[in-house]
Amino acid sequence: MITKYLTKSFYINLCIVFSIYILDRISKIYIIYLDKQILDSNIFESAFLNITLIWNKGIAFGLFSFDEIYFYNLLSIIIAVVIVALLVMAVKTIGFRRYYLFMIIGGALGNLHDRIFSFAVPDFIDFHIGSFHWFIFNVSDIFISLGVIGMIISELINDNANDKV
């Protein structure tokens, strides 16, 4: 039964997920290396972009940060279950939605890796305008956000197409 899903496109999709995961890992390892070399979390500063390492124990953009290990572990398990559910959805989906789901999965795996092995996710990209700073994020968060935006747009387009029929 599972062999019907092990096609050429499956391996291409697996490469997409793996590439996002590797890009995220390399960026985080490099930023952590720079942080240790400079001995300062402020690695780079400019008018609109700072590279500042912070360790995020919460979920997206630092929301729901917990010091309690049980809540943290429960949250990590929930994230792992959601990744598996997204993988099942992606395998059964066709078109661009599949790629959006794989972008989300690749990013989520990168962050889950850090949650498991570092007990926090390193975030370091800080866009700002003057003193207004957006949430600090990482490469995984970029792909998760792009995947979610793509899914929303594809749903809106399909809903509009269904309304015309």
Give the integer Cα–Cα distance in Å for 133 and 118: 25
Would you call 35 a catalytic residue per the annotation?
no
Give the integer Cα–Cα distance in Å for 23 and 138: 11
Q: Which of 24, 35, 114, 141 is catalytic?
A: 141
The number of beta carbons lying within 10 Å of the beta carbon of residue 2 is: 6
Would you call 24 a catalytic residue per the annotation?
no
CB–CB of 8/14 below 8 Å?
no
The number of beta carbons lying within 10 Å of the beta carbon of residue 63 is: 9
Instruction: Give, rounded to a whole angstrom, the gap between the first and last alpha carbons of the chain.
Output: 35
CB–CB of 101/154 below 8 Å?
no
Q: Which of 24, 35, 114, 123 is catalytic?
A: 123
Alpha helices in 60-165, H assignment, sequence order: 69-92, 96-117, 139-164
Catalytic site positions: 123, 141
